[in-house]
Structure 1
Amino acid sequence: MSYANERLPREKVFRDPVHNYIYVENQVILDLINTREFQRLRRIKQLGTTSFTFHGAEHTRFGHSLGVYEVAREICDHFQRNYPTKAAGDGLWDDSERLVALCAALLHDIGHGPYSHTFEHIFQTNHEAITVEILTSEETEVNRVLRSVSPEFPEKVASVIQKTYANKQVVQMISSQLDADRMDYLLRDAYYTGVKYGTFDLQRVLRSMKPYQDGIAFDISGKHAVEDFIVSRFQMYQQVYFHPVSRSMEVILDHLLQRAKEIYEAGNGDEDFVPTLLIPFFEHRFSLEDYLNLDDGVFGTYFINWRTANDQILADLSHRFLDRKPLKSVEFDSETATLIPHLRALISDAGYDSHAYTAINNSYDLPYDDAYDPKMKKPLTQIELMRSDGSLVELSQESAIVNAISGKLSGDQRFFFPKEMLIPEDGGINLFQDIFNDFGRYIHNNQLTIPKE
């Protein structure tokens, strides 16, 4: 028996609040979970700064990755039970694809770093490229486990992540507009944030899935369950992922890391400043080992040290991040964008470095894209419904609800600024009282709305 087909003498289970049990049946999956690179995901929050708004959102990329594996495993079981291939090229499910699908599902996020998207913005890293490197580098434990299946297996799994794998069913199972990744993170994020927006009927969606020659379709009888998924995702982006306070804390984090980078490059850091594990990133010469040494705890330790740094801006931004002192924000559009220079000028007049204490943040999402464009950087396949005669129809053509939000960006753009510009920190009269008053009046007179924390 090859390692690829080796099953555990007794399945191992992980208790999970979303899926109840996560079943591990293959030795290779268990060995991948036990690698150094996968265990590192225990130390990286799934939702980054969102826990500053929804305090329960402390869950990790480790739990999410296990959840995506479990959803993919259930899809494979469903396909093998109901749509097994009977002849080569018949478009049904070939269960020899199971292991590559499960490994790709488990490992799809292994390249994420701490506060991933903010970190990528500052240091020009790419978590998908690093995921592929972790899978294919002979220096990693993950690669050694994958090579135990076959010499070419790491590249096969990586090609699923890169969406170049030949079997479209496997690729769509992991990456599409309705995939194992999205199904798990919506349910998991809803559970841990305590909201109901992200809930949908997972089992009904899974039961509706059907493999066919060009990928995965959904039985038309499951249309309403698929609609519910799309609307749930839309609501989660509006109510949770785009929450102004979470975005405010992300802005602070962004400016904090940028300030540290500038201090290092200028050679102005004091002896308590030196962030040894970040130096390779400041100098644009990091290795995979350097990347794998980072997690949320490393960042937190540096922020604690920087809270007493000689650089007052670095110290203050560290305090604001660690002690949850979010910036305020106002939403603006193409017409009110002309107000921002004056707001920035007032902030500078009040003694703030406008580069460090203000930001424009755009957050938009496409709830559903009904127009597949292979020329896009990250093209997403349409969701296809399969009629009883085997013909296909694109989801928004059958669903008035999805059609109403299809192809339409949702979100907003905000201008972030210090809260003290509205309420001076000491609550009383100070040298800049007139500036603060002017700022508040300017916001009010132009009818700019400030969200509650």
Structure 2
Amino acid sequence: MSYNIEMLPREKVFRDPIHNYIHVQHKVILDLINTKEFQRLRRVKQLGTASFTFHGAEHSRFGHCIGVYEITRQICDNFKQNYSSKTPGDGLWDDNERIVALCAALLHDVGHGPYSHTFEHIFDTDHEMWTRKIITSPETEINQVLRQVSEDFPQKVASVISHTYPNPQVVQMISSQIDADRMDYLLRDAYFTGTKYGMFDLTRILRVMRPYKNGIAFDYDGMHAVEDYVLSRFQMYQQVYFHPVSRGMEVVLTKLLQRAKDLYEHNHMNGFEMPNLLIPFFENNVNINDYLQLDDGVLNTYFTLWQNYPDEILKDLSYRFLARKPFKSAKYDKKTKHLLPQIADIVESVGFQKKYYTATNTSYDLPYDVYNPNSNKSRTQIEIMQDDGSLIELSTISRLVNALTGKISGDERFYFPKSMLIKHADDIFSNEYDKFQEHIHNDKIV
């Protein structure tokens, strides 16, 4: 379907540290960027608590979203220039799909809440569900802008997010094992964390991408650039996203929000500054306006107030989060997992409620997987197009990728207050500290 899309009289550009210029040519894209829902993303950090480990990681979901838009725009330009459809059904690129792809790319993360995945875990929210709601709800400015394209256009954009849009090329641009979303966040996160693990040759990958009837493939002579991308993604997860200190701060944040929720449910917040913007989440009765009022700054303001709250646990956890006092951690495995309840009891015996001061945190990633139609969450595999036009799955011709295929990597950690590692010689609980450290070291929970 073709749309009558208004072009800007003069191209708008955004300066970007990753892509240099981000080019905006369509009025609908600029109008979306200027909506209040999209501008809110400036106040949501891309990497959440990772900024406590990598101090440069202060970048926002806003920057990431316009970056994903820019990569998608470049893909569309390449497809139009080199692979334009000649006849219906020939499997090549129909440039009428450009505007839905660009809007979906720009808006794909608009539903992220403050501190993203930690917040989702505590309040059982789903950012993709909220993204679709924000796009399709008549109350949002985003929806009003999209409806200027056509009445059903918001639903089409939302269907790309939910992977139900009928054109697999558009869906795979935004969501697959090598898509605009992943390519931008790897490069952007590597840049802002000051690491080099996420670097790969974006220009080359975009050059070797090509559409085919069932999605997107990559030229055989560009296979090594794709290998490099898969490896860089693996390294970023191990070295940055799964960093134990970032996870230690995430545990503090989780316990802090859990304590606030528990206090509210037991009517223990009366007489103190009521966290009005969180009440809908405490009561599990959230509308779009409630959701969109929250950002990282709102939560940090509540944490600042809670440092003076009469509840000692809420006060302490707020202080630990704002002052960057992460919980320490020890790895455990199947052999040592049975010791965790006993170790948690030792933590409680010295005065820390184990519900709020101990936790397990599991971080695992599957660097690359082949398509399994019987899987509950099957992934779109990376297809390499050979000179004769036939397709072959990446791991069957790449020994490097084959070594990572299906190999889940990560670890399981037990988190606890740092003071459990400090020997208190004159303390009545010194025996408990000794027992704790004996478990940590002798039982190979390290």
TM-score where L is the length of structure 2: 0.98
Cα displacement (A) at 1:374: 6.1
% identical aligned pairs = 63
* Matched-pair contact (CA < 8 Å) for 2:363–2:410: yes
1:418-444 Cα offsets, whole Å, 9 max, x none, are 1100015xx663222222122122212
* Matched-pair contact (CA < 8 Å) for 1:331–1:415: yes
1:414 maps to amino acid? R
Q: In the alignment, what sits opposite 2:395? A: 396
1:145 maps to amino acid? V
Q: In the alignment, what sits opposite 2:56? A: 56
* Matched-pair contact (CA < 8 Å) for 1:272–1:306: no
TM alignment of 1:48-447, pairs within 5 A: 48-373=48-373, 375-376=375-376, 378-423=377-422, 429-447=426-444
Q: Distance in 2 between matches of 1:98 and 1:332?
A: 48
1:436 maps to amino acid? Y
- Secondary structure of the structure 2 residue equivalent to 1:40: helix
Q: In the alignment, what sits opposite 2:13? A: 13
1:4-28 Cα offsets, whole Å, 9 max, x none, are 4211111000000000110000000
1:80-111 Cα offsets, whole Å, 9 max, x none, are 00000111110000000000000000000000
| Structure 1 gaps, min length 5 | none
Moved more, 286-295 or 365-374: 365-374
2:402 maps to amino acid? N
TM-score where L is the length of structure 1: 0.96
Cα displacement (A) at 1:210: 0.6
Q: Distance in 1 between matches of 2:248 and 2:444?
A: 20
2:406 maps to amino acid? G
Cα displacement (A) at 1:371: 2.8
* Matched-pair contact (CA < 8 Å) for 1:360–1:414: yes
* Matched-pair contact (CA < 8 Å) for 1:270–1:309: no
1:358-414 Cα offsets, whole Å, 9 max, x none, are 0011100000011333652x4321000000000000000010000001011100000
Q: Distance in 1 between matches of 2:375 and 2:342?
A: 40
- Secondary structure of the structure 1 residue equivalent to 2:370: coil
Q: State the number of aligned residues.
A: 445
* Matched-pair contact (CA < 8 Å) for 2:3–2:96: no
Q: Distance in 2 between matches of 1:24 and 1:257?
A: 39
- Secondary structure of the structure 1 residue equivalent to 2:346: helix
Moved more, 272-281 or 198-207: 272-281
2:285 maps to amino acid? R
* Matched-pair contact (CA < 8 Å) for 2:367–2:404: yes
Q: Distance in 2 between matches of 1:428 and 1:79?
A: 70
1:254 maps to amino acid? T
1:175-201 Cα offsets, whole Å, 9 max, x none, are 000000000000000000000000000
1:20-78 Cα offsets, whole Å, 9 max, x none, are 11000000000000000000000000000000000000000000000000000000000
* Matched-pair contact (CA < 8 Å) for 1:172–1:179: yes
Q: Distance in 2 between matches of 1:442 and 1:101?
A: 54
Q: Distance in 2 between matches of 1:274 and 1:145?
A: 35
* Matched-pair contact (CA < 8 Å) for 1:372–1:382: no
How well do the aligned residues superpose, as a CA RMSD in angstroms?
1.2
Q: Distance in 2 between matches of 1:180 and 1:372?
A: 23
Q: In the alignment, what sits opposite 1:38? A: 38
* Matched-pair contact (CA < 8 Å) for 2:385–2:391: yes
1:232 maps to amino acid? S
Cα displacement (A) at 1:145: 0.4
In structure 2, the CA distance between the partners of 1:35 and 1:206, relative to structure 1 (3 Å rule), is same
2:203 maps to amino acid? Q
1:411 maps to amino acid? G
2:399 maps to amino acid? A
